[in-house]
Structure 1
């Protein structure tokens, strides 16, 4: 996913937001169940005599994909410093440009004042991460 942005002189990491393995697998399980039900219903609607194939195929496909990309997804660490939010692949958000941070299905959606959006995925407590980021942005705006 590329390298993280380097720290500036005098910049300190305040907190890291690492993906949670349990949240990762739970998100994929939920996706597999929902898509499996949907696939089974479509096969029923089409009159397929074996609608159970839909849920089984959905679970297998999502499970294989989840296993294949797990190491990459679980390596995406976001760092909050005293000046910026640093993400994977060199993403950088100055705290003065931090607009909103909201929990979103096990993740946190960060929107900057410029309208850019970033997703901090697979957090064990997305509400706490969003609150922490909102506070950091408010402090920077008043700083």
Structure 2
């Protein structure tokens, strides 16, 4: 069983089951895909506006590249921990397992939706399916 030091104080008897870290390869892949899609979109928009269309591709690649570089240190340091009672995430996010209404897959991320409608995103996961399945196993037999 995985027993790391957690960022939040654990309650008496609470145990960390797993840790889900952001993955560098997934982070890079997601930003490359975003740059390509936005670059093509920008070129199409510029073409229909009658502007120099080819500028859209390099501009989008540059913009997404700067964004990825600037945010990498924060995004890649983010991690979530699954305990036998809750999920503990970055910026002191905490979700009790009993409050989870739904888990959704979005790209390389898992979105956690609570009974009150709060949403949390576990981003840049190398194995989003395995992460989702592991959380569902600890919800007492899956989601309702």
TM-score, normalised by the number of residues in structure 2: 0.89
The answer on 1:37 being equivalent to 2:40 is: yes
- State the partner residue of 1:107: 109
Residue 136 of structure 2 is matched in structure 1 by 134
Shift of 1:139: 4.9
Contact 1:4 1:91 in 2 (8 A): no
Q: Which deviations, in whole Å up to 9, do the C-alpha atoms of 1:4-27 show, x marking residues without a partner?
A: 432122211100000011111111
SS in 1 for 2:78: coil
Structure 2 equivalent of residue 58 of structure 1:
60
Runs (5+) with no aligned partner, structure 1: none
Contact 2:136 2:142 in 1 (8 A): no
Question: What is the alpha-carbon root mean square deviation over aligned residues?
Answer: 1.8
Of 2, 5, 8, the residue aligned with 1:5 is: 8
Equivalent residue for 1:24? 27
Contact 1:100–1:134 (Cα < 8 Å) also in 2? no
Does 2:89 align with 1:87? Answer: yes
The answer to which structure, 1 or 2, has the higher relative contact order (CA under 8 A, 6+ apart) is 1
TM-score (norm 1): 0.89
Residues 51 and 81 (structure 1), Cα distance of their counterparts in 2 relative to 1, 3 Å cut:
same
Match of 1:138, SS state, is: coil
SS of the residue corresponding to residue 115 of structure 1 reads coil
Structure 1 residue runs of 4+, over 4 Å off?
none
